[in-house]
Amino acid sequence: MAPFELTFLGTGTSLGVPMIGCACPVCQSSDPRDRRDRSSIFIRTPELCWVVDTGPDFRHQCLRNHISRVDAVLITHSHSDHIMGFDDLRPFTFGEEARIPVYASPATMAGLRHTFSFAFDEQNRYAGYLKPEPFEITGPFHLGRTLITPLPVQHGRVVTTGFRFDREGMPAVVYLPDCKSIPDTTRDLILDCGILIIDALRHRTHPTHLSVEEAIAVARDVRAGQTYFTHLCHDLGHAALEASLPPGIRVGYDGLVLSMD
């Protein structure tokens, strides 16, 4: 297998695409790439595999992508569209003592503990319960031979933690799903990255997400080798958007796999 394989589990905004009850052309599209679950990625390496975010579609995303093993979880922030499938990590921690490592910033971990108090509560450790093992992110850390660097970005008033993944001999992969602006300290950490996966909600500007035009400007500014857009809303049809983008920028879609050698 490839030393690093990244699967887009979901590439949609908080409502998903199609949106419930919407009759717009994108929500009615027959192109499977216009069906977008809530945003998440899955990473497989020879040593370990992990998921970034467990939104409301997490169970379905695991089944559809034949995911039978998850060794760790990284959470970008505690908005509902990124955490509401958290309890569906249970099948990956069956057994009295089995715990699953959860990596999140202190603020995001506080949000998780609040929403999923029954799972974090040491009093209720029944065999079938999810048993998270919290690791608060304070700097770069390793999962197997992959170095993971946290990338704080501004998402309205919330700080989201994006991630940079590095392995020996592999171009850096950067994931920034919910983002409106990038502080200089984070910009320095993603300059000249090989792959940039970044929020591009829609064409119109939005107070907490990058627009397509803003995301293109970021990709150019940081000189990303190849960029993929994610966290799209139903304003954007896959085929039309991709045809309009400059070279080096593509549109992610659910089920897309990037294999890095």
Distances (CA, A) of 149 to 15, 79, 137, 163: 29, 21, 9, 6
At its nearest, how many Å lie between Zn ion and the CB of residue 14? 5
Nearer to Zn ion, 54 or 146 (CB): 54
Q: Using CA atoms, how far apart are residues 229 and 251, in angstroms rounded to an integer?
A: 5
- Residues 37/60, Cβ–Cβ less than 8 Å: yes
Residues that bind Zn ion (CB under 5 A): 19, 22, 24, 27, 79, 81, 178, 234
Distances (CA, A) of 19 to 12, 53, 104, 228, 234: 10, 20, 29, 22, 7
Nearer to Zn ion, 22 or 63 (CB): 22
> What 3-state DSSP class applies to 112?
helix
At its nearest, how many Å lie between Zn ion and the CB of residue 228? 16
Phi, psi (degrees; rounded to nearest 5) at 239: -65, -45
At its nearest, how many Å lie between Zn ion and the CB of residue 202? 11
Nearer to Zn ion, 65 or 208 (CB): 208
At its nearest, how many Å lie between Zn ion and the CB of residue 98? 29
Which residues contact residue 15 at a Cβ distance below 8 angstroms, ignoring those fewer than 6 apart?
Answer: 233, 234
Nearer to Zn ion, 33 or 79 (CB): 79
Nearer to Zn ion, 33 or 234 (CB): 234
At its nearest, how many Å lie between Zn ion and the CB of residue 87? 19
Nearer to Zn ion, 159 or 245 (CB): 159
Q: Using CA atoms, how far apart are residues 141 and 152, in angstroms rounded to an integer?
A: 15
Nearer to Zn ion, 196 or 260 (CB): 196
Q: Where does residue 69 rank: exposed (0-12), middle (13-18), buried (19+ CB within 10 A)?
A: exposed
At its nearest, how many Å lie between Zn ion and the CB of residue 28? 8
Rounded to a whole number of angstroms, the distance between the first and last alpha carbons of the chain is 9
At its nearest, how many Å lie between Zn ion and the CB of residue 18? 6
